Amino acid sequence: MNEISFSSQKEQGKLDSVASDVLRNVRLSKGFIIWIGFLFLALAACLFAYIIQLKEGLGVTGLRDYTSWGMYIANFVFFVATSLVGMLISSVLGLIGYNWVKPISRIAEIIAIAFAAVAGLVIISDMGRPDRFPYLFMFGRIQSPILWDVTVVTTYLVLSLLLWFFPLIPDLAISKNRLHGRPPLLVKAYEILSLRWEHHESQYRILKQALRILLILIIPTAFAIHTVTSWLFAVTPRTGWDSTIFGPYFLSGAFVSGTAAVIIAMYFFRVNYKLEKYLTPFHFERMGRVLILVSIVYIYFNLNEFLVPGYKLKTGDAIHLRELFTGHYAMLFWSVQLVGLVIPVILLLIKQMRRPVPMMIISAFVLAASWLKRYIIVVPGQGHPNLPIQNVPVEWVLYKPTLIETAVTMASILLVLIIITILSKLFPVIPIWEMAEDEHDKEKLSGNE
């Protein structure tokens, strides 16, 4: 028998009910096939745009000599930022001892994996000669933050995968005998991936030990990945990027977008996967508080980032800030800051707003604003380099993303959705054993045989 033999009938019953609730979604339902089919079709259309870019070169984008980092890099920063939430939920909140994050932590990890994995691809889409990508490893300079970024993003992706996989092992073992009527290939995959898990005490001990190391290790790595991403900008003397607080500024912004992404995903799984029992209004209420906290920290860093240069008004900064506050980017800037940050915080302070539906809507605004915020950080400064732009056509000076660029960016977003869909469809989204363990003595769950 590969089943856990529970010491009490009650515990076995609890496990059974969690497993059946969670595993109900592990099947190729019609809705899923339509949804994934739609995603792949849309992806194919967008990849066609990328093929055009491959053939014609980056000239098909709005990128030119002066604004050479546009939508792609803004999107990359957004992806890296959003992926950080895996660390925030599982590690920071988990290690503090908040048990309520348990049902959410796997969702957070899935989001982390999807965004971190695609972030790397986004960088390749920004390359005019992607065939030269291996040169980064052959001739990469260890002094360059770009090399550090590649290193830490890869590391973070591996750590997130491990952090997703380890707690999944017992679930796979629990589930493998309950997958009646699922594709045999999937059952076989469960069998292999469960690594002969026997719910033995010593196996749990190893698992917990590994988890503890991972949870600690991922904190500096996550800090590193977004700090290094901010250094891609902050180590240049360019106005708008030349800032000493870019590391924490990016990091705090990352928590905002990641938390919003998790809330949206929670809402989606709660409704579509019928997981109301596990992702309760209580969890939304808590996540609402987290969102308030991280947003306030981010507002604080925004204040620093704009007030200090705004007080000194060095020539370059003056031009840059005028563009943002009252100039070409004013509309975008103020909507992002107000609709995407200040107003959500004010709304979320009201308890009624921390219920699932309003939370989901507010988070959608916050997430969209987070994307646009990256655009505002990356693009405007390049229109005003320290040496004047001269002797070039106007369209080289003002950056406007082209349709092809937008389609390629869409492709990356679709890819994220595909990864999230597949991971959450093939494997349990709610940790079964942890939920069952929740109400019972850990020893009893693990210490049998």
Partner 1 sequence: MKYLIPIALLIVLAPGFAWGQDWVVPEERKGRLSTFPFTDETRQSGEKLYVTNCISCHGTPGKGNYISLVPSPGDPATEKIQKNSDGEIFHKVSTGRGQMPSFRNILSGDEIWHVVSYIRSFNKNYIQKVMQVITSSAYPGAVIRMTMGYNEADSTVFVSASAVDEKKTVAVTGAGVRLFARRYFGMMAIDEEKTTDESGKAAFRIPAGLPGDREGNVHFSAKFTDEDQFGIVSMDTILLAGDRTIPVSLLAERAMWNNVRKAPVWVLLTYTIGVIAVWGFIFLIMMKLRDIYIIGSIIQGKKSAEAITETENQPT
Nearer Cβ to partner 1, position 30 or 141?
Answer: 141
Q: Hey, is 297 helix, strand or coil?
A: helix
Nearer Cβ to partner 1, position 182 or 200?
Answer: 200
Site residues for partner 1, 94-153, by CB under 8 A, read 139-143, 148, 151
Nearer Cβ to partner 1, position 352 or 391?
Answer: 391
Nearer Cβ to partner 1, position 187 or 217?
Answer: 217
Nearer Cβ to partner 1, position 79 or 156?
Answer: 156
**Nearest distance, CB of residue 167 and partner 1, angstroms:** 12
| Token duo for residue 190 | 């469960």
Site residues for partner 1, 166-185, by CB under 8 A, read 169
What's the distance, CA 177 to chain centroid?
32
Site residues for partner 1, 184-223, by CB under 8 A, read 195-198, 200, 202-203, 206-207, 209-210, 213-214, 217, 220-221
Q: CA separation (Å) from 189 to 173, 186, 426?
A: 11, 5, 10
Q: Please tell me what DSSP assigns to residue 388.
A: P
> Is residue 385 involved in binding partner 1 (CB under 8 A)?
no
436's CB contacts (< 8 A; 6+ apart) are 11, 14, 15, 18, 445
Nearer Cβ to partner 1, position 10 or 196?
Answer: 196
CA distance 338 to 132: 42
**Nearest distance, CB of residue 138 and partner 1, angstroms:** 10
Helix (H) or strand (E) holding 378: helix 356-378
**Nearest distance, CB of residue 202 and partner 1, angstroms:** 6
**Do the Cβ atoms of 353 and 365 come closer than 8 Å?**
no
Helix (H) or strand (E) holding 310: helix 281-312
**Nearest distance, CB of residue 203 and partner 1, angstroms:** 5
CA distance 410 to 63: 17
- Count interface residues toward partner 1 (CB under 8 A): 31
**Nearest distance, CB of residue 50 and partner 1, angstroms:** 31
Q: CA separation (Å) from 118 to 106, 246, 290?
A: 18, 23, 26
Sign of CA dihedral 155, 161, 163, 169: negative
What are the residues binding partner 1 (CB under 8 A)? 139-143, 148, 151, 155, 158-159, 162, 169, 195-198, 200, 202-203, 206-207, 209-210, 213-214, 217, 220-221, 390-391, 449
